[in-house]
Structure 1
Amino acid sequence: MDASANTPQLLRRANLRAVLHVLRSAPSVTGTDLIDATGLTRATVIAVCDDLIARGWARETDSPRAGGQKGRPARRFQFNESAGYVLGLDVGIATVRVLAADLAGAVVGGAEARFPRHGGQREDRRRVVTAAVDAALEDAGITSSAVLCAGMGIAAQVTGAGRVAPGQDVAPMFDLGLTQEFSKARGWPLLVENDAKLAALAERWRGVGAGEENLAVILAGERLGSGIIESGRLLHGASGGTGGMGALDLVDGVGNEDGIAKLARLWGSAALEDGHNGRIRELVGPNTNRASARLVFEAAEAGDPVAVEILVRIAARMARVLALVSSFFDPRLIVIGGAVAASATALLPAMRQELERYVVQPPRIAVSGLGKTLVPTGAVRLALDYVETHLLDLVPELRR
């Protein structure tokens, strides 16, 4: 078949994409604005806008009339952010969090649920995830048919094809078959990605790393993991392993992937076992030697010398991790996120000072302000990127 036969259709799609790009970047625009931005003729711009309105992706909005203006005001157009929705899931070992967002990225609902104790069986975890998705949809007041795509972050290595990489001990906890289930039962794609990589997307989109082209995000709760953005691109590697922390076993002064929360808990509990009777003991109480990370940080803030020493040890250890990431990937900014992000602010001065011993030009170090929404926000961004790429092939709910 003559390839030129498709030229009008390809040109039409190119025009649609050009106008959509402008509509998505501004609250509302006139036909003249679109002409200036795209270089298309007025007739083409108006025809494209009418087409997008008919498809459900755009709408016409009231145009304010200037003082003394006569005649009909110029037509104004805007992207229809409620033409569909996306979901962002964060599936961890103990909990699942779900955010529902419109096509402008505004969160409209969410839900959180805990898995059965000790993780639960595969079917149990599937039920918890699907129930949390349904709860988020109900909270947002939208139906499953309104969802165009979902992104899901998991605490495991994920291949470029969106599958759990083989050979991981945690694979059974995350390889739940949800991609096929959601596709068949709900009719929308589920994109799977490593949680630390989604954290990097979130920080570059809406966090302290907003707009940064060279960025590393380290999830530092129970286990360390990192997501790397280089020249604006999220790095994956041949099998999705970029940013993995398995090599920390080889680093003197580190030795494993244990994160800040786990270290604070383990070292605080060890101090109690050894007879420490200071502020940590007061906060934990007399009947247990199990210290939480939160209480260790609180004790340090109150001046407990043992708790302060624990934080100094953690900061020194983390500085070596930061040096490794900095040396390998040369980011301008490293953001620390995860369950301990708020508490980790106390570690920043010591980490910065220690990092200067290892790196000639240290990157900026910051703590994420996105809290528990860090990974699901990145999952929302992943889903939105898919929708933006495939927008003209998707059908909004109002046309179904």
Structure 2
Amino acid sequence: MVVPSQLSIVARSALHLRDVGPATVNELSRSLEISRTSVENAVAVLSDSGLIADASVQVAAGAGRPARRYSFLADAGTVVGVDIGVASVRVVLSDLTGRVIAQQGFPGVAAQHDGASKLAAVIDDIRQTLTRASVAPSRVRAIGVSLPGLVDDAGRVVKSVVIPEWSGVDIGSQLRHAFGCPVCVDNGVRLAAVAEHHLGVAQLVDDVIYLSVGNRISMGLILGGRPRRGIHNAAGDIGRLAFRGLNTETGQISWRSAETAAEVFALARTGDATAQNELDSFIDELAHGIATLTMTVDPAMIVIGGGLSAAHEQLLTPLRSALPAHLGLPFQVPIAEARLGADAAAHGALVHAFQRNGADVYGIHDMSVPPITPLPHEHVAPADPIEEKK
């Protein structure tokens, strides 16, 4: 991690204008504690690159000529985050300050009959979102992609149980060809963990277990403030191993008292004893698996996301009660509900795009990920049920 004092003066000036707000050369010089001449040179570079422009100023009566004030051009380009699943595809667009300017949901890729058709549908979803937001494709500076499966550090899909046609396919390369910009790809649960760490419930917490509990159970790890991939990019693929009672091939959760988890939870709320007993057993097994992971990683926080997190305290309260008995330790690890819900992986893909392609996004090196600002809730369409991303 590059500390601010080691950043170039150009990057430090750009970050201040992006994250703090408009400033004059003198204000930048004082804030950054560098010479006026150095700041003037940096401002010239940023102006030539199209990242900054003169900000409007108000002149007080009787005042002399005001100093030139510079502002960061948030709309100089667009960054895209895409979350691909079999039940839904989500696309988010942000400006260069990380403010989400558009968000759109589409049907998942399950209806497409082969891998090529699935990819073509995703490309069309991105193009539709850009068109509706009046953003020309040429203004897209980077795309981040979340999808279900093991993904290597280069962005190639190693294996996907959920979208098997993409196993071994370089999805990033295909999207680069379609949009003519850098594309980075990663596992959906890992990127959901990234989003919760960057802008969700786990901000400022550097050691986090993120569990996506839905059709399957999958994990994303944040260790030392960074997502953990593992040497074989398989860190977190633990659902079928750490949690007893799941399908040993796919990690699928099966239910006996009803067809879906939502129905089991609903029956339990009505007082159905069979459903409540099944739910109690499931939560106890979930606590057992979490205890195993906790003793392995020793996290500061456990975040529960995925479809079952929509049960809220009907799941979390008994889970918090069950975990200490399995841990048998003199401390408790807080369990929190994911804040971003179904939109986590798409926003994580956005963070990933800024993180992996910062030089392409801004045209200069050493630019950190901006604080991502989601759309207000009332501007977001109701979320579809979450399918597992792993």
TM (normalized to structure 2)? 0.83
Q: 1:292 to 1:250 in 2, by over 3 A?
A: closer
Contact 2:157/2:170 (<8 A) preserved = no
> Counterparts in 2 of 1:124-273, with a 5 A limit?
124-166=117-159, 170-173=163-166, 177-245=170-238, 248-249=240-241, 256=248, 258=251, 262-263=253-254, 266-269=255-258
Q: 1:202, 1:377 within 8 Å by CA — same for their partners in 2? A: yes
Query: Which whole-Å CA distance do the structure 2 matches of 1:46 and 1:54 have between them?
Result: 12
Q: Who is 1:392 aligned against?
A: 363
Change beyond 3 A, Cα 1:169–1:184? closer
How many residue pairs get aligned? The number is 355
Letter in 2 for 1:158: V
Contact 2:148-2:160 at 8 Å conserved across structures = no
1:61 aligns with 2:37: no
Q: How far apart in 2 are the matches of 1:302 and 1:105?
A: 44
2: CA distance, partners of 1:252 / 1:294: 20
Higher mean Cα deviation, 36-45 or 133-142? 36-45
Match of 2:19 in 1: 25
Q: Bigger relative contact order, structure 1 or 2, given CA contacts below 8 A and separation 6+?
A: 2
User: Is 1:370 paired with 2:340?
Assistant: yes
Helix, strand or coil: the match of 2:150? coil
One-letter amino acid matched to 2:89: V
Rounded to whole Å, the distance in 2 between the matches of 1:144 and 1:372 is 26
Provide the C-alpha distance between the structure 2 equivalents of 1:175 and 1:312, rounded to a whole number of angstroms: 40
**How many Å separate the matches in 2 of 1:24 and 1:105?**
10
What is the aligned counterpart of 1:313 among 276, 281, 302? 281
Conserved in 2, the CA contact under 8 Å of 1:218 and 1:227?
yes
Change (3 A) 1:206 1:168: same
CA–CA distance in structure 2, aligned partners of residues 136 and 73 of structure 1? 41
CA shift, 1:122, in A, is 0.9
Distance 2:225 2:242 in 1: 30
Partner in structure 2 of residue 325 of structure 1: 293
Given that 1:315 and 1:350 are in contact with CA atoms closer than 8 Å, whether structure 2 keeps it comes out as yes
The structure-2 alpha-carbon separation of the partners of 1:65 and 1:317, relative to structure 1 and needing over 3 Å to count, comes to farther
Percent of aligned pairs with the same amino acid: 26
Higher fraction of helix: 1
Q: Which moved more, 1:165-174 or 1:318-327?
A: 165-174
**2:84–2:108 contact (8 Å) kept in structure 1:** no
- Larger Rg: 1 or 2? 1
Give the AA of the match of 1:295.
Answer: E
Q: CA deviation at 1:167?
A: 8.6
SS at match of 2:230: coil
Across the aligned residues of Structure 1 and Structure 2, the Cα RMSD in angstroms comes to 2.6
Q: How many angstroms does 1:226 deviate by?
A: 1.2
| Distance of 1:224 and 1:44 partners within structure 2 | 52
> One-letter code of the match for 1:363?
V
Residue 165 of structure 1 contacts residue 239 of structure 1 at CA under 8 Å; is this kept in 2? Answer: no
2:15 counterpart of 1:14: no
Supply the AA of the counterpart residue of 1:268: S
Partner of residue 294, structure 1 = 262
Output the CA distance in 2 between the equivalents of 1:117 and 1:161.
25
Query: Against the structure 1 CA distance between its residues 172 and 39, is the aligned structure 2 distance closer, same or farther, given a 3 Å change threshold?
Result: same
Deviation at 1:118, TM superposition (A): 6.3
Measure the CA separation in 2 of the matches of 1:314 and 1:70.
72
Instruction: Give the drift of 1:204.
Output: 1.0
Q: 2 CA distance for matches of 1:346 and 1:245?
A: 24
SS of the residue corresponding to residue 111 of structure 1 reads strand
Within-5 A mapping of 1:61-80: 61-65=55-59, 70-80=63-73
Distance 1:253 1:293, change over 3 A: closer
The alpha carbon displacement at 1:157 in A equals 1.0
Check conservation: 1:218, 1:226, Cα contact below 8 A: yes
Query: Helix, strand or coil: the match of 2:267?
Result: helix
How far did 1:253 drift?
6.0
- Cα distance in 1 between the residues matched to 2:359 and 2:281: 46
| 8 Å CA contact retained: 1:19, 1:34 | yes
How far does the alpha carbon of each residue in 1:339-381 deviate from its partner, in whole angstroms, 9 at most, with x for none?
A: 2322143111111111101222332101112122110000011
Change (3 A) 1:308 1:168: closer
Letter aligned with residue 379 of structure 1: A
Q: Which moved more, 1:118-127 or 1:182-191?
A: 118-127
Contact kept? 2:243, 2:285, Cα under 8 Å: no
2:80 equivalent to 1:87: yes
Distance 1:113 1:53 in 2: 38
Deviation of 1:330 after TM superposition, in Å, equals: 1.4
Counterpart in 1 of 2:373?
A: none
Structure 1 174/78 Cα, relative in aligned 2: closer, same or farther at 3 Å? Answer: farther
Picking from 380, 385, 393, the partner of 2:350 is 380
Is 1:41 paired with 2:41? no
Q: Post-superposition shift, 1:145?
A: 0.8
Query: Please, which runs of 5 or more residues in structure 1 have no aligned partner?
Result: 1-12, 270-290, 395-400
Change (3 A) 1:117 1:205: closer
Asked whether the equivalents of residues 156 and 169 of structure 2 are also in contact (C-alpha less than 8 Å), the reply is no
CA distance in 2, matches of 1:171, 1:253: 24
Q: 1:308 deviation in Å? A: 2.2
Determine the C-alpha separation between the residues in 1 that align with 2:160 and 2:267. 40
In the aligned structure 2, how far is the partner of 1:160 from the partner of 1:81? Answer: 29
